[in-house]
Amino acid sequence: MRYVGDISSTDHYKIALYTWNGKYIVKVEAGLYEQTYKVSEMDFLGDEADIHKLFSDEAFLKTIFARFNQMHTDFQEAIERVETS
């Protein structure tokens, strides 16, 4: 897997772009959690700028961050169940 560069980065999250085996791989990291998106390079005709646009779309980013919040909630609830059993 080849690191291409960051799409975005703040104190709270990082979005990094990679290429591997004919795919763009976008990793979105927030604290302990990570979401990975794999997209065929053919879907974007090898144009990295379109990947940057996709992962700058505010509506899409809101769903990504809502998913992180749900991941955190799910994880905390599982920990509580294990600790009380």
3-state SS of the chain is CEEEEEEEECCCCEEEEEEECCEEEEEEEECCEEEEEEEEHHHHCCCHHHHHHHCCCHHHHHHHHHHHHHHHHHHHHHHHHHHHC
Adjacent-strand bridge partners of 81: none
* Domain ranges (residues) in the chain: 2-84
Task: Name the residue among 21, 16, 22 with its Cα closest to residue 4.
Answer: 16
pTM for this one? 0.88
- The band of 46, judged by pLDDT with boundaries at 50, 70 and 90, is low
Query: What average pLDDT does the chain have?
Result: 94
